[in-house]
A and B are shown apart, each in its own frame.
Chain A
Amino acid sequence: MAYAGDAPKESFRLSMLIYDTRFRSITIQVIVLILFALFVSWILNNTVQNLAAKDRGFSYDFLWNRAGYDISQRLIDYTNDDTHARALLVGLLNTLLLAFFGCIFATIIGVFAGVLRLSNNWLVARIMTVYVEVFRNVPVLLWILLAYVVLSETMPEPKDFKVTEAMIAAGEQPKAHMFFGSIALTNRGTNIPEPLFDRSLGNIDLGIFLVSIDLLAIIAVLVASFVAWRRLNRHAHVVQDATGVRPVTWWKSLLIWVLPIVALLWALGFHLGYPTFKGFNFTGGINVAHAFTSLLIALSFYTGAFIAEIVRAGIMAIPKGQTEAAYALGLRPGRTTSLVILPQALRVIIPPLISQYLNLTKNTSLAIAVSYMDLRGTLGGVTLNQTGKELECMLLMMLIYLTISLIISGVMNIYNNAVKLKER
Chain B
Amino acid sequence: MTDSSDRSIAFARETMLPAREPPVSQRGIVRWMRENLFSSPMNTILTLLGLGLIFLTIRAALPWFINGVWNANSLAECRAIIAERAGPDASGACWAMIRERWHQFTFGFYPPDQYWRPILAFGLLFAAIAPVLFAGQKRNLMVVIAGVAAFLLVTLYLASTPLLAFVFAAALVIVLAVLSQTQPGKLMWFTVLYPALTFYLLWGGSIWEPVTAMFGFVIIAVTYRLLVERIGVAVSSAIGVVLAMLWWLFIDAHVADALASALPLALPKVNSDQFGGFLLAVTIGVTAIACSLPMGILLALGRRSDMLLIKTLSVGFIEFIRGVPLITLLFTASLLLQYFLPPNTNFDLILRVIILVTLFAAAYIAEVIRGGLAALPRGQYEAADSLGLDYWRAQRLIIMPQALKIAIPGIVSTFIGLFKDTTLVAFVGLLDPLKGVTQIVRADINWKGIYWEPYIFVGVIFFVICFGMSRYSMSLERRLKRDHR
Contact = CB atoms under 8 A, between A and B. Distances in A.
Interface of A: 18-19, 25, 28-29, 32-33, 36, 43, 46-47, 49-51, 53, 116, 119-124, 127, 133-134, 136-142, 145-146, 149-150, 153, 358, 362-363, 365-366, 368-369, 376, 380, 390-391, 394, 397-398, 401-402, 405-406
Residue among A53, A123, A134 having the largest count of chain B Cβ atoms under 10 Å: A123
A137 B36 contact: no
Contacts of B381: none
Nearest to A408: B323
17 contacts: A25-B306, A32-B313, A46-B341, A121-B46, A121-B50, A137-B467, A139-B434, A141-B435, A145-B435, A146-B451, A390-B339, A394-B328, A394-B336, A398-B324, A401-B325, A405-B323, A406-B319
B276 to A, nearest CB: 16
A120 B309 contact: no
B462 A127 contact: no
A402 B323 contact: yes
B76 interface: no
Contacts of B438: 145
B420 A138 contact: yes
Interface in B463-483: 463, 466-467, 470
Contact of B47 (A33, A121, A365, A369): A121
Contact of A402 (B320, B332, B340): B320
B424 interface: yes
B386 to A, nearest CB: 16
B258 interface: no
A121 B455 CA distance: 32
B235 interface: yes
B22 interface: no
A134 B463 contact: yes
Contacts of A50: 338-339, 343
Contacts of B424: 141, 366
A138 B466 contact: yes
B interface, by DSSP: helix, strand, loop or mixed? helix
Interface string B47-68: 1011101100000000000000
Given A29-B309, A134-B463, A139 B328 contact: no
Interface string B127-143: 00000000000000000
A28 B307 CA distance: 9
Given A121-B36, A376-B328, A390-B336, 7 more contacts: A120-B35, A121-B37, A122-B36, A138-B463, A142-B458, A149-B451, A150-B451
Interface of B: 35-37, 39, 43, 46-47, 49-51, 53-54, 231-232, 234-235, 306-310, 313, 319-320, 322-328, 331-332, 335-336, 338-343, 416, 420-421, 423-424, 426-427, 434-435, 438, 449, 451-452, 455, 458-459, 462-463, 466-467, 470
Contacts of A121: 36-37, 39, 43, 46-47, 50
B467 A405 contact: no
B30 to A, nearest CB: 14
Nearest to B364: A355
Contacts of A140: 420
Nearest to A302: B420
B343 A394 contact: no
Contact of A380 (B331, B416, B420): B331
Contacts of B325: 362-363, 365, 376, 401
Nearest to B39: A120
Contacts of B36: 120-123
Contact of B232 (A18, A25, A398): A18
A368 B50 contact: no
B37 A43 contact: no
Contact of B339 (A19, A36, A137, A391): A391
A319 to B, nearest CB: 13
Given A142-B458, A401-B328, A402-B324, A127 B309 contact: no
A137 B326 CA distance: 18
B467 A29 contact: no
Contacts of B43: 119-121
A394 B309 contact: no
B245 to A, nearest CB: 12
Contacts of A368: 327, 427
A25 B306 CA distance: 9
A161 B309 CA distance: 66
A145 B463 contact: no
A281 B114 CA distance: 53
Contacts of A365: 325, 327-328
B340 to A, nearest CB: 5
A172 B323 CA distance: 56
A53 B343 contact: yes
A64 B43 CA distance: 61
